[in-house]
């Protein structure tokens, strides 16, 4: 459950599924689908923790994953 993706700026992100949803994100996860998982994406310079559907590593297009990372950076 590891995946790399490149954002629109050309930065490479390494994303890894976390073993559990972090405490500070559990309320948000509870409002989402039951198959929601937490991932951590790290570029070396920045870090994002996002909630995504289970299967993200195989099923989610690169553009969608990069968009999720970008959205989290913007809402920072």
**Radius of gyration of the chain from Cα atoms?**
12
CA atoms of 73 and 32, how far apart (whole Å): 20
C-alpha torsion angle, residues 43, 70, 17, 55 (rounded to 10): -140
pLDDT at 76: 64
The pLDDT of residue 1 is 80
Task: Output the pTM of the full model.
Answer: 0.91
Q: Could you give the number of structural domains in the chain?
A: 1
Domain enclosing residue 64, as ranges: 2-75
**pLDDT tens track for 13-25:** 999 999 999 999 9
Confidence at residue 74, expressed as pLDDT on a 0 to 100 scale: 86
Q: What does the alpha-carbon distance between residue 4 and residue 34 come to, in Å, rounded to a whole number?
A: 25
With a cut of 70, list the residues of the chain below it in pLDDT. 76
């Amino acid at each position: 459950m590891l995946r790399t993706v490149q954002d629109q700026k050309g930065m490479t992100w390494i994303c890894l599924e976390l073993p559990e949803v972090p405490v500070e994100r559990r309320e948000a996860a509870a409002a989402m689908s039951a198959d929601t998982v937490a991932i951590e994406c790290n570029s070396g310079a920045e870090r994002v923790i996002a909630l995504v559907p289970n299967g993200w590593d195989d099923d989610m297009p690169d553009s969608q994953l990069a968009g999720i990372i970008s959205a989290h950076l913007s809402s920072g």
